[in-house]
Structures are given as C-alpha cells and as structure tokens.
Chains A and B, each alone.
Chain A
C-alpha cells in the first residue's frame, strides 16, 4: 500500500470531521431548547408538517427561542407525529412526546418551554436515564430492540450530511479506503452478513464473485424498489439516514472495483427520491463521492433511477431491464448479474438494508456483528409491523427473537382485547403462520422452513376478525396483477388461483376447490422462472395448511367464521335491544338501507345493504343492537312497511 495515500485520506477526512464537530458543538451549545420533529413520510402523513408550523408560529408569537431540528423516522409510527424536546434549563432530560398535534405543540411551548412544566400526562418517556421521568429504555419496545441499520434514524437530520458525520458517519469509508479490497470482502464474508432483500444470499460471497469478474467497468445497484404493499422500511431508511446507505454503496463499489452506482428507488416515494438525490449532491461536494474520493484515487459516481412501480422490478434481472428502458421482465439466470448485468456490464445488486449494514460491520468488526443474532443469520432484522397490533411501526431486532416476544412484548400485543389469530410475514411472497409458530425464532431459515419467508420484512398481525381466505385472496389479487406475464403458469395460474379464492369468499366454492388450490399452487411454483411466481402461492399454501377449517367452512357451509367476507355475512338489528326512535344507524348508512319498522325500531334492507359496518360502529354502546352473522340466511325476517310515498302513487 502507498503510505502517502493513506495520510492524505486521513488528512482530508479529519478536516471534514472537524467541520462537522464544530457545527455539532455550535448546535448543542446554543443555550436554547431543541425541538426534534420526526419528518419522514409516516410523520408527515400523521400531520408533522402542521405540527412544525404550529411550533414555528407559537415560538414567534411568544418570542421564545428554540431550534427546530427536523429528523427522520424513529420507527415508532404508532406514536406519530413524534417530537423530542431537549430543554436543559428546565432540569428535565430530553423528553419524547407521542402524537403531538398542532394544539399540543402550542401547549408544550406555552407550558414546558415557557413555564418549565413538562406536562407529565403527555410524556412517553425520557430519552436517557434520570430521576424524574421514566426512561424509554424501561419499555420493551425500546430495550429489546437492537439497532444496527437504524441506529441513527430519527436522531439526525437526513438533509444535513454533517449531522451524519458528527455521529461517526463516513469514518468507515475513510478507514476502509486504506485497506485492500480483499481485506474488506473478507471482513464482510466473516461477518456472515446475508442479503436483506429477501433471499438471504451471503453478501461477502456475492462481492467476491463480483470482484473476481474481470471487466473494464462494473456497476453497483442499491435495490430500493420495495414492492410489497405493506412494507416501508427501505423508504424510511432512505428518508431518515440516506448517507449510511451511500457510504455502504461506496464501500461496496471500492471493494468490487466499480465506478458507477445507481440507487433504484420507486417514484412513488418522492420524499425518499428527493432526500437521496440531495444527499448524493452533498457527499460529492465534500469529496466523499465523485472523482478521487478523499484523495484516494478511487472514483465513484452515483445516479438515482426512479422505478415506475412494478413489483416484479424488485427482482434483479427485471430491475436491470427497466433501467435499460424496457418492460421489466426477469430473464433466466445464469448468467447472473455479477457476470452480465446492466448494459451487459457486471452488476452487483444489494438491498438498502444490506448496504446500510456494511458501515457498522466494518467499523466494529465481523466478530461484533456475529455476536448479534443467530449462528446462520447474524445481525438484525427490520420489520414493519402493522395490522392489529398496538405499537405498529418499524422494529429492528436481533435475529432469533421469537415471534411471540416481537408481537406481544415489543409491539404491545393485540388491541381491543381481541385474540391473536395469525401473522403474515414476507408480503406477497410470504406466508400466514398461526399460533403454533409463536415460539419460532425469527431468522432466514426457520421462517422458510415454516413456509413463510423473510421476504420484504413486511409483517401483518391479524386478530380473530380477519378471514384467512380473504387475506390469501388479497395477496393473490396483488401478485396476479403484478405478474409480468412471461411464464404461463405464473400469468394464468395465478389468475385461476385468484378466481377460485374469489369464488370461496363469495360462497360459490365447489367441492374439490381446496385440492385444486393445492395442486395448482405446486404447479405454479414449479413452472415459474422468477421468485414472483415461485413464491406467489405461499400465502395460499400456508393459510390452507394452518387454517384449513376456515377454508372448509367457506366451501361446505358458505360461512365465513371471521365474519369478514362480505358476501357471506349480513347485518340485522336485535329488536329487543334496538331503541325506539333512535336514528344513529339510519343517519350514517351510506346507502339508506336502514328502514324503520312499524313500532319505530330499525331493520336492514338486505338488498340495499353493502355491509360496510357503519351501523355497528354508530349504534350507541348502551343499546349495542347491531348483529353480524354468517351465513347471511341466519338473519331473522323483519318486515318493511311500504314507503308512504310509493303507496300514495
């Protein structure tokens, strides 16, 4: 190695680091309160922009000095908009406030910043240990997480590169540019890092293959297509800490010998596109990207390509086709992209989380990473946990944690005193697992064995009111639409799977349908080229395996046990409970299906009813007269008196 080069890198980087630390110092030492507001998509969707505006207005109005620090998503999406107020003069530690609406923002400025009263009833916890307020670390949602990829998410301003550098960012790049590519690849290989894009391919091995391919040019692609309709962690990472991904890409490019890289991010994620584009620009300005990075002589140019929203384009060969300007259809592998990829150039594709794991691994060493997680799946897993669960949001846990502790301890269990029924893992490629799997450790191999899949990392928790047949139908509806059409079994097979499932949810199931689902599923798996078709039947096969009685009830009794399939359920009012003259249900019905009986109680016109369930919500709890039944013929007959107007005609 060339010693002069290493000194140059150190020198250049320490100048940048110094600038970052100076800015950080100026920020922390400014003697005014700091208000950190979570401003990723989830925060904005919950009203963070209004919250920020309210803070700005009331601060100006009352002439209170404070710095507003926009940060990314901290992962606690159930609590958005999230605000952390650091007000050292009050004697309190930094405090985490959930659900800060505009009104709450005004109140906090008035009472906490103005009068030093932190309003205990609105606090979730303090961000550090102290004697006054319970610390967040006392909650399982916080203390059982282990953050590697998302460590800095929600703490730094994603639009300010110096914020990342002050937290140790880009120091790994500066360090590894002084190593040889082989040293880096060995370290990644030893860490046991497996690709977080779904399949879990060993990253070190992939990099080695790419490194050993002899070519003039190589390309690195960061896969941020994230097509699962229920997962959003890749977007959140790009929106909350884009530089960690960029740093990972730069390290990867250096290790495999690439000088071009592309971030492939869906255009439906406009905020992520903006933030990443901006971040790349900032990194170029500081010489952390571009020509001769940190004076090392290594060049890297990163572009952003906006994916146009096709699930199959998450598949690597389809992704490449779409960058080339064609319909995103997968092709046969081999040749693998590392041999022949984008424009026939060797191309290495890694997921956002895989790349974002690289800087911490090389910073702390392979052994440190191996200590987290399990033997065969080291490291952490990130899930977006949604559905019927108290604390929905993004969770990063060490691999090997059981589903039970993830759902019940970390995420607070099932709301409304309902019973746990199933958890769907891995989105459209994954499967539905029942109670028996709650003690299954979460890692690549155990999930695959159970018939589910790590997949996208989307996790949907379902309570007893969710119908598994309907959930399977939902996913098939998705994959059927998203099939690119290349393989017959995938294109037509998924269509027929969907038709059968639709039939079941409508109560038109035929004898033998369940067996047909099974054989067809197996054929689709065998007859499809890419992962989309190979995994599309998973939701059907797993739910059929673990919830067979439910399918049978749909076929044999035309009954939906969970009361979810609309064609198989009906509403009526229990006349013993229905209050005379009360109109709550009638006024909320969107289709005027509620009529008044001869003694001024209510009935449902089954012909008109669309089964939206509004009356069930509207009926005052003291009456609780609305009943939902399946099959629909259980509804008692209630006579409708003919309309007066019609009678007069």
Chain B
C-alpha cells in the first residue's frame, strides 16, 4: 500500500534536499543521512532515496539495499499514534504475540502498516527494558504495562474519545471566536 505524500512531507523533503548539500559526498555518511531523513519524516519516502542516491552518486538500488537491510528504516509513514508491541523474549514468554494480534485485529492492519487515515500504526519492538512488567505495549511515548487482550480495545477507544473531545473543543473555540 503506497500512501501519497502529504504537503508537509513535501515541504520536509525540500528541507532535506537543502540539508544534503551541506553533507560530504562520502559513503560513510549514507546511514547517518538515512537516519536524519527518518528523524524528520518518521519514514523514508521513495523520493528521498532517490535524492540520497543522487547526492552520494551511487545507484538508487544501493541506497535501497542498505535501507532495507536495517530494521530501523521504515517505508510507510507511521500513524499519528504509533503502537509498538514488545516482542522481546520476556514479553514473548508472557504472550506478547497475543497482544499484537489483538491490535492487528482491532485496527484491521498488520504489523508494519498504517491505517489509511494515518491515525494508527503497529510495529513490533525488541525488549524495551521493562521485562518485569511484561507484556508491554507502547503507544506514543507511554508504556502500558501488564497488557491483556481486553485492554487493547480500551486503549484504542480512549484515543478515539480523546480525539473527539479535542475536536469538539476546537470547534467550540472556533465558534466562540466568531
């Protein structure tokens, strides 16, 4: 599934293009450059790989080959709410895969994908360092400990409700200003 670039992304790409010109055309900069792009955009759009290839004067396939080799790089834009389910050893032993499956079922996407409205994305994570609280899931920056399948729905619902409330608040403010 290829999602179109948003206006914001396009703007960010232009920024990156100008940043690239300040970086040396050295092969050793390839991974740091990809990391820089991902930091800005949260993913590597195809267009960006082409830009990098042109800048470093190496084939685009080379850039793609390196980018796909490493787990860090993603090729789909993540959702506004990034869900990471820990599948480290401790979380696995405590059924982290069932938690992952529940998120996938509820959101109707697979691990590594983003919902079409770009609200949610699901990723797997290696140990996040709180194995004593296993299984854990991380949404945005918040770690949710001792996850259970029944908590999945609640978490997603809560985000939906928060969004609705924020929108209502916004509408209220806007109408109040008029």
Contact = CB atoms under 8 A, between A and B. Distances in A.
A328 B73 CA distance: 14
A590 B65 contact: no
A230 B129 CA distance: 8
Interface string A151-183: 000000000000000000000000000000000
B1 interface: no
Interface residues of B, number: 46
Contacts of A111: none
B31 A46 contact: no
B90 interface: yes
Contacts of A424: 89
B70 A388 contact: no
A618 B127 contact: no
Given A267-B35, A474-B92, A78 B132 contact: yes
A324 B28 contact: yes
A261 to B, nearest CB: 16
Interface residues of A, number: 56
B27 A460 contact: no
A387 B150 contact: no
B164 to A, nearest CB: 23
Given A45-B133, A325-B28, A308 B153 contact: no
Contacts, number: 140
Interface of A: 40-42, 44-47, 77-78, 80, 227-232, 235-236, 267-268, 306, 308-310, 322-328, 384, 386-388, 392-393, 424, 427, 458, 460, 462, 466, 471, 474, 484, 588, 590-591, 610-614, 617-618
B13 interface: no
Contacts of A614: 148-150
5 contacts: A46-B132, A230-B90, A309-B70, A590-B152, A614-B150
Contact of A46 (B72, B87, B92, B130): B130
Interface stretch (B94-102, B108-116, B166-174): B94-102
Interface in B15-43: 26-32, 34-35
B101 A386 contact: no
Contacts of A618: 150
B128 A387 contact: no
Given A325-B66, A590-B105, A236 B129 contact: yes
Contact of A80 (B66, B87, B93, B132): B132
A318 to B, nearest CB: 10
Contacts of A78: 132
A598 B131 CA distance: 44
Contacts of B136: 45
Interface in B129-169: 129-134, 136, 143, 145, 148-150, 152-153
Given A41-B128, A324-B27, A325-B29, A392 B92 contact: no
B66 A310 contact: no
B78 interface: no
B177 interface: no
A46 B90 contact: no
Contact of A77 (B72, B88, B132, B150): B132
A231 B106 CA distance: 30
Given A229-B87, A308-B73, A466-B93, 9 more contacts: A46-B145, A230-B89, A231-B127, A232-B131, A306-B32, A309-B72, A325-B27, A590-B152, A612-B95
Contact of A308 (B72, B87, B127, B132): B72
B69 A327 contact: yes
Nearest to B133: A46
Contact of A229 (B28, B101, B127): B127
3 A-B pairs with least C-beta separation:
A230-B89, A308-B70, A386-B131
